[in-house]
Chain A
Amino acid sequence: MKAVLSSPAANRLPVMMAGLALASLLIAPLVGLPSNVIRLLLVTLLWVATSLAWNLLGGVAGQVSFGFAVFYGLGAYTAAFAINAGVNPYLAFVVGGLVATLGSVLIGIPTFRLRGPYFAIATIGVNEAVRIVMSNLEITGGASGYRLMMIGRFSQVEHYYTALALAALAFLASWYLMRSPFGLALRAVREDEDAAADVGVHPFHCKLAVHALSAFLTGMAGGAFVRYTAYIHPDGVFSFATSISILLMSVIGGLGTLLGPVIGAIVYSIVQEEMVVNFPQFHLLLYGTLLILIVLFEPGGLVGLARRIARGVDGRMRRGLPLGKVGS
């Protein structure tokens, strides 16, 4: 089973799909789509980048974090300060990513002393502590938020391509990492830390490194987000709800897979778009229900479900059975 999934043919499929998706996304703004659609695509792409970044730590390395809003917020605020200080926006994103990375190391050094589930709980504490401190700090604008000075003309297309570039970067990084020896080491840490340590993997270093990479990508996405919206406040970007959203996308899509976080982010963004307008309180209800159903019935998320259906169809076709009830 495992061998089939990791065969070259199975590995090429996501890459081909990604290529196709990238091509259509590149021409999307040029075919005259309404700006509302472009906005939805842009937001989706930023979530894709963030969710892929989270998945490196939470899915591949198995360290579920409830605290990614910290990096999103740090990146957003740093980029906002830098842009207001006159720094080139793209450089500002990188600086935002670097500050988030620094934050990840400071958080990771103590918290990665803890094993998986305890790490997860500690991150809840970290996230809330950071949010409260940030809401009270003078420089974040406190509860009234922080506004970005707009220099030059507002170009939605430019923001769109920035988001696309970030999502592509996160996708490439994930794709490369999952195939690399480092990715293998991370999986080993996920399956059994002690066994991984016995075969020469340093779990602590591995976790710190992938945490830093995830935080860097998340911070950059935060930076791109603030440049687009031009306004942030601590209870938004640093909120626990942001952390939950980031986590949910990967879990819904399929933990530890390459396509899972992408699909999860797309589902999340579309649902968010529809739900927030009509039923502001209910989107978390939906996600909570989804989380329960996924844990109980399909821990592989949507990608797992698709695989199961594909296997069922495949098996039935081979055995010459009618395609009635699919799945197991």
Chain B
Amino acid sequence: MGLADLFNLLASAVLLAGIYTAMSIGMTVIYGVMKMVNLAHAGFMMLGAYFAYELSQRTPIDPLLAAVLAVPLFFLLGIATYWSMVRRVPVADVPTLPSLLLLFGLWLVLQNIGYAIWGADDRSILTPLTMATFRFAGITIPIIRLIVFGIALLSLVSLHVFLTRSWFGRAVRALTQNREAGQLVGIDTQRTAMLTFGLGIAFTGLAGALLATLYSFTPDFGGSFMLRSFVIIVLGGLESFSGVAIGAVIVALIETFSILVVPASYQLAISFILLVVALLVLPGGIEGLLQGRRRLR
């Protein structure tokens, strides 16, 4: 493998890491505040993808703009979901089974509503930029990936500013660190959780719409991305934003470079194996890592 190939792979890994970060951040904020693993993540990503698809098909709106427009819509969708269902299941310091089953059921429902509306055909979004590439010092980069990377990065930065500079952001961070202490100092947990869920879903919808400009999709879309998100937030320590970025880079690098050693048909299995491995390299599960205890049984 030549040096140019290496740089090409590196560049695509970095671009992949950007979108992976954006798709995992929604899961992280929800996990942080509510200690729930959002198994409906894939369903909302799929809806995001079809939202961008429909909007770009029916109106002259550019799919990438449609992706940005998905943010407010999915924020409201997340709040509605929280209000109607999620707030009724018990929360604890670790994910509870009812929450897991509820969100899983919601995934099934969303997925099949997708099948009912759009059928099982593969769809893809073509933008004027889909085929365009950008060459620089022997590295070829598809422009669409660069733009998607840019949008993902921009949304992450704004989220970061939002969470560090606003009172709501403070409440989110406080609840992430310690739920009970947060309640003691007077944070409205119900309201914060609702807004966080909305925020998480907003990012999920955005990520789904962005991914739809890169990959083809069916109502099944999102399952493997959801598991990747989970790998990423586990690698990143579940609740930290910088951790998510690091996790995303690790996963993107492994996936990109595994092409060299693993047959293409086994590619998909890598993220699933990675999920199990990521969960396991943290002895005692995720709690062990959270509390900095590396205890071997």
Distance between Cα atoms of A269 and B116 in the complex (Å): 22
Whether A117 and B116, one on each chain, are in contact in the complex, defined by CB atoms closer than 8 angstroms, is no
Interface status of B279 (Cβ within 8 A of chain A): yes
Interface status of B108 (Cβ within 8 A of chain A): yes
Whether A296 and B112, one on each chain, are in contact in the complex, defined by CB atoms closer than 8 angstroms, is no
Question: Given B85, B100, B112, which contacts A117 in the complex, CB threshold below 8 Å?
Answer: B100
* Contacts A116-B97, A281-B115; A126 near B266 (Cβ below 8 A): no
**Residues of A contacting B269 in the complex (Cβ-Cβ under 8 angstroms):** 128-129, 132-133
Interface size bracket, A side: 35 or more
**Residues of B contacting A327 in the complex (Cβ-Cβ under 8 angstroms):** none
Residue of A nearest to B96 (CB): A117
Interface status of B58 (Cβ within 8 A of chain A): no
Distance between Cα atoms of A124 and B231 in the complex (Å): 12
The smallest beta-carbon distance between B199 and chain A, in angstroms, is 22
Whether B276 and A282, one on each chain, are in contact in the complex, defined by CB atoms closer than 8 angstroms, is no
**Residues of A contacting B274 in the complex (Cβ-Cβ under 8 angstroms):** 125
Distance between Cα atoms of A35 and B101 in the complex (Å): 37
Residue of B nearest to A203 (CB): B297
The smallest beta-carbon distance between B285 and chain A, in angstroms, is 5
Interface status of B152 (Cβ within 8 A of chain A): no
Interface size on B, residues (CB 8 A): 47
Q: Which of B263-288 contact A (CB under 8 A)?
A: 263, 265-266, 268-269, 271-276, 279-280, 283-287
Question: Given B102, B116, B120, B224, which contacts A285 in the complex, CB threshold below 8 Å?
Answer: B116
Distance between Cα atoms of A185 and B96 in the complex (Å): 21
Whether B109 and A114, one on each chain, are in contact in the complex, defined by CB atoms closer than 8 angstroms, is no
Whether A295 and B112, one on each chain, are in contact in the complex, defined by CB atoms closer than 8 angstroms, is no
Interface status of B151 (Cβ within 8 A of chain A): no
* Contacts A121-B37, A204-B297, A284-B112; A295 near B98 (Cβ below 8 A): yes
Interface status of A2 (Cβ within 8 A of chain B): no
Distance between Cα atoms of A132 and B270 in the complex (Å): 10
**Residues of B contacting A206 in the complex (Cβ-Cβ under 8 angstroms):** none
The smallest beta-carbon distance between A271 and chain B, in angstroms, is 14
Interface status of A64 (Cβ within 8 A of chain B): yes
The smallest beta-carbon distance between A297 and chain B, in angstroms, is 9
Distance between Cα atoms of A251 and B224 in the complex (Å): 24
Whether A132 and B101, one on each chain, are in contact in the complex, defined by CB atoms closer than 8 angstroms, is no
**Residues of B contacting A128 in the complex (Cβ-Cβ under 8 angstroms):** 223-224, 227, 268-269, 272
Distance between Cα atoms of A292 and B104 in the complex (Å): 8
Whether B97 and A113, one on each chain, are in contact in the complex, defined by CB atoms closer than 8 angstroms, is no
Distance between Cα atoms of A285 and B265 in the complex (Å): 30
Interface status of B4 (Cβ within 8 A of chain A): no
Interface status of B111 (Cβ within 8 A of chain A): yes
Question: Given B102, B268, B297, which contacts A291 in the complex, CB threshold below 8 Å?
Answer: B102
Whether A117 and B272, one on each chain, are in contact in the complex, defined by CB atoms closer than 8 angstroms, is no
Whether B109 and A117, one on each chain, are in contact in the complex, defined by CB atoms closer than 8 angstroms, is no
**Residues of B contacting A11 in the complex (Cβ-Cβ under 8 angstroms):** none
Stretch at the interface among B87-95, B168-176, B185-193: B87-95
The smallest beta-carbon distance between A279 and chain B, in angstroms, is 9
The smallest beta-carbon distance between A10 and chain B, in angstroms, is 25
Whether B116 and A282, one on each chain, are in contact in the complex, defined by CB atoms closer than 8 angstroms, is yes
Question: Given B85, B265, B286, which contacts A292 in the complex, CB threshold below 8 Å?
Answer: B85
Whether B95 and A117, one on each chain, are in contact in the complex, defined by CB atoms closer than 8 angstroms, is yes
Q: Which of A273-328 contact B (CB under 8 A)?
A: 281-282, 284-285, 287-292, 294-296, 299
Distance between Cα atoms of A114 and B276 in the complex (Å): 10
Whether B108 and A296, one on each chain, are in contact in the complex, defined by CB atoms closer than 8 angstroms, is no
The smallest beta-carbon distance between B176 and chain A, in angstroms, is 18
Distance between Cα atoms of A204 and B297 in the complex (Å): 10
**Residues of A contacting B283 in the complex (Cβ-Cβ under 8 angstroms):** 113
Q: Which of A116-170 contact B (CB under 8 A)?
A: 116-118, 120-122, 124-126, 128-129, 132-133, 135-136
Chain B residues close to A by CB (< 8 Å): 37, 85, 88-89, 94-98, 100-102, 104-109, 111-113, 115-116, 120, 223-224, 227, 230, 263, 265-266, 268-269, 271-276, 279-280, 283-287, 297
- 12 additional A-B residue pairs with CB within 8 Å, beyond A114-B285, A117-B95, A288-B108: A114-B279, A120-B100, A128-B272, A129-B276, A133-B269, A285-B109, A287-B105, A291-B102, A291-B105, A292-B102, A292-B109, A295-B89
- Please give me the 3 A-B residue pairs with the lowest Cβ-Cβ distance, nearest first: A288-B108, A291-B105, A125-B275
List 13 interface pairs A-B (beta carbons < 8 Å), by A numbering: A64-B100, A64-B101, A113-B280, A114-B280, A117-B96, A121-B279, A122-B279, A126-B276, A132-B265, A288-B111, A291-B101, A292-B85, A296-B88
